[in-house]
Amino acid sequence: FLNTVSKDRPFEYLRLTSLGVIGALVKVDDAEVINFLLQTEIIPLCLRIMETGSELSKTVATFIVQKVLLDDMGLNYMCATAERFYAVSSVLAKMVASLHQAPSSRLLKHVIRCYLRLSDNSRARE
């Protein structure tokens, strides 16, 4: 359900429900949950939803990425290669640019927290 790009209402509800389940998992702040998610395709899917989803889907997907980044293993994973870091940072930059047209303080808060956490990694600061 997360893989579809359809904006039809039933697909959006499925996407939000799926993201909600994953969001509930990451709220627990459990390293095992983060480790499990890093072994799946959830990060690339969240990044795509952050670019193309509804405001609520973008917010939940950004929250998931933020919670993964807050874990040291997640931060190291996202910054392990230039490609991964670029994927995350370019999506965040596009989101900041799009917030000019459709402001959302809740979404901006999560984007800023992602940037703040990325700045904790020495390779990301270079």
| Mean of per-residue pLDDT scores for the chain | 94
Residue 4 domain-assigned (yes or no):
no
The boundaries of the domain holding residue 39 are 9-125
Residue 105 domain-assigned (yes or no):
yes
Please tell me the total count of domains within the chain.
1
Residue 45 domain-assigned (yes or no):
yes
Q: Is 108 exposed, middle or buried (0-12, 13-18, 19+ CB in 10 A)?
A: middle
Residue pLDDT, tens place only, 51-107: 999 999 999 999 999 999 999 999 999 999 999 999 999 999 999 999 999 999 999
For 47-114, the DSSP string reads: HHHHHHS-HHHHHHHHHHHHHHHHSHHHHHHHTSSHHHHHHHHHHHHHHHHHTTTS--HHHHHHHHHH
Residue 1 domain-assigned (yes or no):
no
pTM: 0.94
- The whole-number pLDDT of residue 63 equals 99
Taking Cα atoms as reference points, which of 62, 61, 73 lies closest to residue 36? 73
Residue 107 domain-assigned (yes or no):
yes
